[in-house]
A and B are shown apart, each in its own frame.
Chain A
């Protein structure tokens, strides 16, 4: 199967800390790849390298056959990103922001439809600064879809959402996959990984400790068991 995203032997060090220590995984085209790992495993650093916000000290990153570091606007238009920190301007209202961001694309999706779908219309009159964590998540997810991306990077998209909100997000992510989009989701939730993943990556201490289809990774055991046995402190 061809891959839309390939990270090969990535090393990235911050001071004395090796955030990525020979990280290798790939995300197959048109599938959902879930990346699981404890805090500090290097998930966010890996996503930053994949979207061109960071550059590995060593190793190669390919996204849609392009090196994302300083890639051009056409490449960035093909990649949708939802960052953990959000990155949304604070002083504006949600729909004004989405309309603005949609103008950066030649043929964006219908802003009102996406906003309705993610419930952004329910808090349209609140400035971004005053949104709850869950509302910000929905808005950031809506923003990531505006340019009809071929690859979608979602850094913990359902974190902080209530059960209904999580279900909405999962349905939407599955829909994107069904429309042919490659999705990479980082998560701490076994439930999320089990529900969504066509392809599973487990990271620990800057490396990949398991990768494959969910069945091949778990081998009949529960995902939770496999995860803890691979990521407990001292596990190699």
Chain B
């Protein structure tokens, strides 16, 4: 048996700075998301196909405005929902199932660092998504209103917050399999009836009224107002902010790190 020695603190490591820890985790999550084929399909391939499809047809009706301009704004909203909600809910649900959240909670990253890294990773993936969609849209004749770009960025950021919070609420309270099913189902429902690609004003009357209060329509309406008309849609912003606030409060109270 060895003689007891007091640990020599100078040889100990200590934690990396909070900024480095969060950037490292965000980079790791982006790498994992971009390596995941199914996720790339939902995040990039399906939105791109939707954009091409809408540009080649005249149905469904997208309402007033140049069709490609309205369509591109809606597809950008779809990208945000894919990354911030569907992808994040599924990956967090399974990380919770496999005790990854517990493990990262005892590393210097910690739980708050993990949440910050997830938001950052989502924004980074969205930059890639919006870049691809913008180039594709431009090739198809998209001309966004320059005066509305700042408003569009605001909606993307606030929308990301709201949908990541909703994703964490779902992933932190249900079984991983249920999260997988619901996250995909919600994506499809919002795509069809949530006022994302097809503006809610073009949906049947009953659906249209409900959709007005959904975060999906709030985000997409806000992006359409910004990029098609160059305007700040305050009503849509309030809807998205309210969902973000509600989901954050509920997630903070109900999220369970253990499965």
Contacts and interface: CB of A to CB of B under 8 A. Distances in A.
Interface residues on B, range: 35 or more
Interface string B3-25: 01111110111111110110011
B12 A103 contact: no
Contacts of A148: 11-13
A150 B6 CA distance: 9
Given A76-B106, A104-B24, A90 B94 contact: yes
Contacts of B67: none
Contacts of A225: none
B28 A100 contact: yes
Interface residues of A, number: 44
A157 interface: no
A91 B94 CA distance: 10
Contacts of A108: 13
Interface in B87-118: 94-95, 98-110, 113
A73 B99 contact: no
A32 to B, nearest CB: 9
A60 B163 CA distance: 39
B100 A30 contact: no
A104 B107 contact: yes
A170 to B, nearest CB: 14
Given A29-B7, A73-B110, A180-B7, A103 B103 contact: no
B36 interface: yes
B23 to A, nearest CB: 9
Contacts, number: 128
Interface stretch (A15-23, A80-88, A185-193, A216-224): A80-88
Given A74-B15, A77-B14, A104 B106 contact: no
Interface string A181-216: 110000000000000001000000000000000000
Contact of B20 (A74, A91, A103): A103
A91 B108 contact: no
A92 interface: yes
B21 A104 contact: yes
Nearest to B111: A70
A86 B98 contact: yes
Q: Which of B100, B105, B106, B257 has the most CB of A within 10 A?
A: B106
Interface of B: 1-2, 4-9, 11-18, 20-21, 24-25, 27-28, 31-32, 35-36, 94-95, 98-110, 113, 257
Given A53-B106, A100-B27, 19 more contacts: A30-B7, A74-B15, A74-B108, A77-B14, A81-B103, A85-B98, A87-B99, A88-B100, A91-B32, A91-B35, A92-B32, A100-B24, A103-B20, A104-B21, A106-B16, A107-B14, A147-B13, A148-B13, A180-B7
**Interchain residue pairs A-B with the least CB separation, the first 4:** A87-B103, A77-B15, A103-B24, A87-B99
Interface of A: 1, 28-31, 51-53, 73-74, 76-79, 81, 83, 85-92, 96, 100-101, 103-109, 147-150, 177-178, 180-182, 198
